[in-house]
Structure 1
């Protein structure tokens, strides 16, 4: 009777899958990883053999054998934010044809949690990492530097010594929102923000600088909450600002969900938008185009960032260092009825 499975675990092995499908072990491995250079008919034969045997790949063993895994790590601060969902989908689309597995780490905007994720994922010897922004602990920076694992930063543009990045200027986006409200004739401009991660604060600084330059900055019209951003919170913060400063006539929200909540709260309070208060959001989430009134927002290239960052990382893996340190994908102010 022919023995099936490894001697130590009893599980089916890659060699047995290769033997049953009539290909070499390396071809079997590539077929199961989805490498596009393997002929479709061979892929089908290998997958059928794997199904017949009940074979499940062992990435830890593969990493041990090659001193490197076939995985890419993507670290993001939130899985509930539409922004990062679209970015992740784009990363998968780029990595899948190369047969690279995408491992996702969610650190909930907590740099200590991100540090633990980096430590744990580096133990699996990933081929590369996609990181969100540049704000992380010194221990994380040291681990990444010592590992030699290629990294690309997303969502922000960094300095030369910080490594390769793909994103846009958060500060310029904040300034663009301020300039738009000023051009609409707003005199008392407020800023409402939640979560308060580094990118939010960069937008706040761009907004502030533009207002200072125009002689319109009023620090008392800034409402900052450390709570997670949400529609409900947006309504609460808008109501708070209006109760304390009823003369505010223009508001920039750090995220669209906050602005959407404010629009709904304005409807409840009988506050006319934009006649009494003009509103501008950020990220241009799908629902913003369907609010009443439709929300003006700054559209961010979240899918393009994921796609270009993944392509840049593949370039590093292929030894193509390139000359572009920062890929600035820009942003777009989408003007609608709320302003």
Structure 2
């Protein structure tokens, strides 16, 4: 049986093949009644767009590439959810790549995506290799870096300052009377390193910096690793009275280990997480965490690509900082517990 074509759909709907193509690729440019008529024709004929043919005709695929370092990290699941909510009702589709926090894997994936002539690219972070950066700067499509902040993006960046978010968290703990505060970090990717730097800047500012209070591991984050890291920390530095964690999994694990050791939180020990994924607010006591606008970041990144694809200009402000919110909860409100 012959596969139906755009021409067949146009005949069924009483419009030209060009109009059908426009309705599929840029539905906002076609009236609602016409979109409905074309949709009924597509359903009746069982038409499925041929992306290869479309790409050849326009010298551009319908793909928006998204490169993230992890599929299992809830942070990037939220970003993808936001991007998809913007893209799903258009004629474009998202293709996702997992770099596994490896710069060379990221480089290979960028090369693969560029070869597909994408509509746009969304990529986590600003720490690309020189080769990756060169490819991103020369690709003929909009590029959005996300979850970070820089004055020198490839095209535009949508995110927040990890440094400032960590510094605000550290300052809050100092304000609450904590003085022997540790930084506990896993994976140690560039965003975590920026958080560590922000934390360290506040410790030095208040002259309470102690290298023994910096506990890091290349292992990925988990509740279990949080428990183990706190146990090791307290064996090494028994007078530690608080921790700033690079993410919420670790903070929850530390909270559970405090319960096991009968450490009173926040009176004897303070805990602050990062990303505010939901688990921290459900702990008892609830754990302070930095809320990051992950879904909105995905939405803004995707919308920028759609706007550019429709012929819109590059914005005057290329560093789109959506900020962060320190969700102050019982785990650090020592002044209220005393």
- TM value normalised by structure 2: 0.92
> Gaps (5+ residues) in structure 2?
333-338
Which residue of the partner structure matches residue 272 of structure 1?
Answer: 264
**Distance (Å, rounded) in 1 between the aligned partners of 2:118 and 2:189:** 27
CA contact (8 A) 1:34 1:96 kept: no
**Map of 2:296 onto structure 1:** 304
Paired with 2:18 and 2:254, the residues of 1 have a C-alpha distance of: 57
**SS of 1:160 mapped into structure 2:** coil
What corresponds to 2:41 in structure 1? 49
Give the aligned partner of residue 152 of structure 2. 160
Superposed, 1:1-339 pairs within 5 Å as 5=2, 11-33=3-25, 35-160=27-152, 162-317=154-309, 318-339=311-332
Instruction: State the Cα distance separating 1:33 from its structure 2 match.
Output: 4.7
Return the alpha-carbon distance in structure 1 between the equivalents of residues 303 and 21 of structure 2.
Answer: 23
Deviation at 1:100, TM superposition (A): 2.2
Cα deviations across residues 96-146 of structure 1 (Å, max 9, x unaligned)? 344322222221211111112111111210111111111112221222223
Give the distance between the partners of 1:35 and 1:228, measured in 2 at CA.
Answer: 42
Contact 2:137 2:154 (8 Å CA) reproduced:
no
**Paired residues of 1:32 and 1:47 also in contact (CA < 8 A):** no
Worse-superposed segment, 302-311 or 196-205 = 302-311
CA deviation map 1:188-219 (0-9, x unaligned): 11011111110110000010011011101111
CA deviations on 1:221-277 (whole Å, 9 max, x unpaired) are 111111111112111111111222111001000001110111112112222211221
Q: Which runs of 5+ in 1 are unaligned?
A: 6-10
The residue that corresponds to 1:8 in the other structure is: none
Alpha-carbon distance in structure 2 between the residues aligned to 1:229 and 1:29: 46
Alignment size in residue pairs: 331
Match of 2:335 in 1: none
CA distance in 2, matches of 1:230, 1:84: 16
- Decide which moves more: 57-66 or 20-29: 20-29
Dislocated runs of 4+, deviation >4 Å: none
CA distance in 1, matches of 2:15, 2:278: 47
1:60/1:124 contact within 8 Å kept: no
Once residues 287 and 54 of structure 1 are traced to their aligned partners in structure 2, the CA distance between those partners, rounded to angstroms, is 45
TM-score, normalised to structure 1, is: 0.92
